[in-house]
Amino acid sequence: MTAERGASFSTKVPEGDTRPRRVCDTCGFVDYENPRLVAGVVAIRDEKVLLCRRAIEPRKGFWTLPAGFLEDRESVEEGARREAQEEAGAEVDLEGVLGVYSVPRISQVHIYFRARLLTTELAPGEESLEARLFAWDEIPWEELAFPSVTWALSHYRETRGSAAFPARSNPVGERGDYRS
Amino acid sequence: MTAERGASFSTKVPEGDTRPRRVCDTCGFVDYENPRLVAGVVAIRDEKVLLCRRAIEPRKGFWTLPAGFLEDRESVEEGARREAQEEAGAEVDLEGVLGVYSVPRISQVHIYFRARLLTTELAPGEESLEARLFAWDEIPWEELAFPSVTWALSHYRETRGSAAFPARSNPVGERGDYRS
C-alpha cells in the first residue's frame, strides 16, 4: 500500500524469505506489503451516534464513522482518539474493542471501539463535510460509506446496555466487498 | 518496517501529505510506515496451553505463543490459524478476540484469539525449536519471549470458564517494552 514516482518493481522471493515480494529494480528495496490497520470509534452521546459525511474519495458524500489509518508508533487507542478529533473535533472516552474486521481484498483490518462522546460542539475536519449525531432510527443505512461501518453500527446495537461485551468480527461470510 | 539493500532514504513531506515520510533518494518511492499487525492464538487443549520455543531471533530460545505478521490479503483469523499451523503444526478453532495489544515503540499491533487446539500431534515448524503443551503451573513465565505473550496468557486466565469475554488491551501503563 505505497505510492511511488518513477520506481520500477519486480516480483521475486528475497533471500531468506519464502514468499514473492515487490523488489525495486533500481535500488533493491523490498516493499513488504502487510495489511494496513484502520482505527475508529462508534461514539455515543444521549443514545445518539456520531457520523461524519466524507469530503474525500472513496465514497465522497457518504456517511462514515470517525476512522482512519493508524500512524507509525501510535497505539490503536491513540489512533482511534486522534481520528475522532481530526474528523469531528470530538473528544471520546474508549469503552472497549467493539469489532475487529478484516477486508482482505484491500488488505485492511478495521478495529472499532465503543466510545462515549464527551464533546458537545462538533467541528468537522478537512476530510469531513459534516459531523453530526444520529438517533438510531435516523441512521442513513443506504448512505453508509463502507461495509465495516454498517457492521460496527449493527454490533454496537447488540452491546447497548452491556458494560462488558465480546469483540465482534466480520459477519459470517462477509469479506467487506463494497456494496454497489 | 522494511528491508533494503543499497537504498538511500530522506525524510520529507510528500506532495498532498501532512506528515514526513521516508522517500527514496534514487527513485522517489514513498515508504509509508504503518504499524504492522501480528496475529496469534492462545490455544488450549485439556486445560493446557500451546507454547513454542523460538528457533530464531529476536528472543531465540524463549517461549512464545504461535503468532506472526499478517500477510497481504489475509484476514486476521486466517493469519492466526496459519501461524498455529506453521509454528506448531496445530489446527485450531478460534473462539474470539482475546486481546488487542499495541507496541508503539516498534510500531506493532498484536491481536490474539482464544482458541481450542484440535491437533493431538504437534510438529514444530522452521521457526520453532519445540512446540508443547503446558499446564498453568508449568508455564515458564521468566522465559517468555515478549510482553504481549505474558499479557495474552494472563488475560486468557481471566476468561477461563466464560463462553463470551470482552477483548483486552494493554495492561494500564504498559507499552510493550522488552523485559530485560
Residue B77 counted as domain residue: yes
Which residues, at least 6 apart from B39, have a Cβ–Cβ distance to it below 8 Å?
A: B67, B68, B70, B76, B77, B79, B80, B83, B110, B111, B112, B113
Residue B153's CB is within 10 A of a number of other CB atoms, namely 21
User: What average pLDDT does range B94-116 have in this prediction?
Assistant: 96
Do the Cβ atoms of B167 and A167 come within 8 Å? yes
User: What average pLDDT does range A165-180 have in this prediction?
Assistant: 83
* B19: nearest CA partner in chain A: A71
Question: In the beta sheet, which residues pair with residue A100?
Answer: A111
Do the Cβ atoms of A76 and B19 come within 8 Å? no
Which residue in the block uniquely carries the three cell numbers 483486552?
A: B168
CA distance B9 to B21: 9
CATH number where A91 lies: 3.90.79.10
Residue B72 counted as domain residue: yes
Amino acid code (one letter) for B178? Y
Sheet order of strands, A30-31 included: A9-12, A21-24, A30-31
- Condensed to tens digits (0 to 9), the pLDDT of residues A78-93 reads 999 999 999 999 999 9
Nearest by Cα to A112 from A120, A121, A103 = A103
Do the Cβ atoms of A111 and B100 come within 8 Å? yes
Best mutation site among B1, B29, B105 for testing chain A: the one with the most A CBs within 10 Å?
B29
For the entire predicted model, the pTM comes to 0.87
Q: Please say if the pLDDT value at position A3 is more than 60.
A: no
Nearest by Cα to A166 from B93, B45, B113 = B113
| Chain A residues within an 8 Å CB radius of B32 | 1-3
Do the Cβ atoms of B28 and A19 come within 8 Å? no
CA distance B77 to B83: 10
Q: How far is CA B167 from the centre of its chain?
A: 15
Residue B87 counted as domain residue: yes
Residue B40 counted as domain residue: yes
B104 closest CB neighbour out of A24, A74, A111:
A74
Please report which confidence band the pLDDT of residue B1 belongs to, taking 50, 70 and 90 as the band edges. Answer: very low
Do the Cβ atoms of A37 and B37 come within 8 Å? yes
Do the Cβ atoms of A104 and B70 come within 8 Å? no
C-alpha cell at position A41 = 470509534
Residue A89, burial from CB neighbour count under 10 angstroms (0-12, 13-18, 19+): middle
B27 closest CB neighbour out of A6, A34, A100:
A6
Please report which confidence band the pLDDT of residue B8 belongs to, taking 50, 70 and 90 as the band edges. Answer: confident
A7 closest CB neighbour out of B27, B69, B77:
B27
Residue A108's CB is within 10 A of a number of other CB atoms, namely 19
Residues found in chain B = 180
Residue B4's CB is within 10 A of a number of other CB atoms, namely 18
Please report the pLDDT score of residue B14 as a whole number: 78
Overall number of domains in chain B: 1
Q: Cis omega (within 30 of 0) on the bond before A58? A: yes
Q: Please say if the pLDDT value at position A65 is more than 50.
A: yes
Do the Cβ atoms of B6 and A24 come within 8 Å? no
User: What ipTM was predicted for this assembly?
Assistant: 0.86
Q: How far is CA A132 from the centre of its chain?
A: 18
B75 closest CB neighbour out of A31, A32, A102:
A102
- Condensed to tens digits (0 to 9), the pLDDT of residues B24-78 reads 887 777 777 789 999 999 999 999 999 999 999 999 999 999 999 999 999 999 9
Residue A28 counted as domain residue: no
Please report which confidence band the pLDDT of residue A62 belongs to, taking 50, 70 and 90 as the band edges. Answer: very high
Query: Do residues B146 and B54 touch, judged by C-beta distance below 8 A?
Result: no
Number of helices (H) and strands (E) in chain A: give both, helices first: 2, 10
| Chain B residues within an 8 Å CB radius of A69 | 34
Instruction: Measure Cα distances from B40 to A20, A80, B110 in Å.
Output: 23, 22, 8
| Chain B residues within an 8 Å CB radius of A164 | 166
Q: Strand, coil or helix: what is A158?
A: helix
Please report which confidence band the pLDDT of residue A1 belongs to, taking 50, 70 and 90 as the band edges. Answer: very low
Nearest by Cα to B38 from B9, B69, B2 = B69
| Chain B residues within an 8 Å CB radius of A100 | 76, 97, 100, 111, 167
Please report the pLDDT score of residue A6 as a whole number: 60
Residue B107 counted as domain residue: yes
* B97: nearest CA partner in chain A: A167
Do the Cβ atoms of A170 and B73 come within 8 Å? no
Do the Cβ atoms of A164 and B169 come within 8 Å? no
- β-pairing, A36-45 vs A108-117, is parallel
CA distance A41 to A97: 9
A77 closest CB neighbour out of B70, B107, B169:
B169
Which residue in the block uniquely carries the three cell numbers 499478517?
A: B70
| Chain A residues within an 8 Å CB radius of B111 | 100, 109
Distance from CA of B92 to the nearest CA of A (A): 17
Residue A104 counted as domain residue: yes
Residue B56 counted as domain residue: yes
**Domain of residue A80, residue span:** 36-159
C-alpha cell at position A112 = 472499532
Please report the pLDDT score of residue B6 as a whole number: 60
Please report which confidence band the pLDDT of residue B180 belongs to, taking 50, 70 and 90 as the band edges. Answer: very low
